[in-house]
């Protein structure tokens, strides 16, 4: 078997791929050996004696299976963790989640007429100050205010 290194290199340049992806038809070995110019190689590519193999990808199947398991809590034990609890679930993100839910509830209550604007303003400021630990806590506080118990 002769050395087709030059042909492989030129074919790779023509096909715009790496040398490892160049495929030579074993039946046309003699023709490929005789091809010494780029024009000769282009003709062989046109005839199908030389072509580029398809790009191989990395399968995501195993990753999908792993992510599915993690979605319901598997593979998340202490041995898998790097970083403190505060870095895996930052306090700021928790605050953003909580305050947005509370503000959404307050807006809905104001628009429905459950609370008037003055109560809305007051509870909005209290929520911003972190007085309420959850949406349920905020609701109970507003119910208490509406009942005239404050």
3-class secondary-structure state, position 143 = helix
The CATH class that applies to domain 5-52 reads mainly alpha
pLDDT of residue 1: 54
Given the candidates 1.10.150.170, 1.20.1090.10, 1.10.1200.60, 3.40.30.10, the CATH classification of the domain at 90-146 is 1.10.1200.60
CA distance 41 to 7: 7
pLDDT of residue 147: 72
Handedness of CA 107, 113, 114, 119 (dihedral sign): positive
pLDDT (tens digit, 9 = 90+) per residue, 80-128? 999 999 999 999 999 999 999 999 999 999 999 999 999 999 999 999 9
pLDDT of residue 132: 97
Helices assigned H by DSSP within the chain: 5-15, 29-34, 38-47, 61-71, 85-88, 91-112, 117-128, 135-146
DSSP 55: P
Question: What are the sequence ranges of the domains in the chain?
Answer: 5-52, 90-146
């Amino acid at each position: 078997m002769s050395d087709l290194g030059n042909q492989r290199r030129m074919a790779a340049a023509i096909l715009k791929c790496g040398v490892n992806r160049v495929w030579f038809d074993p039946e046309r070995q003699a023709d490929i050996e005789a091809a010494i110019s780029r024009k000769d190689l282009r003709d062989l590519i046109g005839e199908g004696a030389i072509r580029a193999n398809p790009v191989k990808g990395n399968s995501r199947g195993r990753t999908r299976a792993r992510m599915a398991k993690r979605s319901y809590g598997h593979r998340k034990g202490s041995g898998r963790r790097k970083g403190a609890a505060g870095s895996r679930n930052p306090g700021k993100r928790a605050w953003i989640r909580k305050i947005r839910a509370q503000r959404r509830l307050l807006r809905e209550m104001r628009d429905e007429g459950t609370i008037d604007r003055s109560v809305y303003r007051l509870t909005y400021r209290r929520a911003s100050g972190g007085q309420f630990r959850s949406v349920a806590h905020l609701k109970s506080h507003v119910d208490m205010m509406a009942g005239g118990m404050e």
